[in-house]
Amino acid sequence: MGALRAEVTSRPAVAAVQPVLARPRVAARSEKAGTLGRQLPSILVALLTPASLVVLAMGLWRVCTDLDWAGAFPITTGLFSHWQVWIALSIALKILSSSLLAWDGRTHKISEEN
């Protein structure tokens, strides 16, 4: 729904009503998209760090199962039945999270300088 603007001319009996273009809305949408783009690395870091801890817990559970210190591990066959895979995946997720955080910091610093 567009806003209306009433213009009063030199003749008071005649008033022209014209719709106002919705350019501010378009600008607001592009600002929202830009804001999401700037926040996306921070959101991913916030999700990757807990995921790394969960995967580490799975790896430690698998190690404890192999040492008969814990109950049965739910995955008994396949690639993810090995504790090394879980620990390596946890390290990879943490490295990805740290790299993403560093990259985000560099891009914010560059954009502030420009």
- Grouped pLDDT means (10 residues each) for the chain, 114 residues: 59 56 53 69 91 97 95 94 97 94 79 65
Burial class of residue 111 (count of CB atoms within 10 Å of its CB; 0-12, 13-18, 19+): exposed
Specify the pairing of strand 15-19 against strand 4-8: antiparallel
| DSSP states of 62-108 | HHHHHTTSS---S--SSGGGSHHHHHHHHHHHHHHHHHHHHHHHHHH
Q: What one-letter code names the amino acid at 104?
A: D
The helix or strand, by DSSP H or E, that contains position 7, with its residue range, turns out to be strand 4-8
What's the pLDDT at 70? 95
Token pair 């740290």: residue: 98
Q: What is the pTM of this model?
A: 0.64
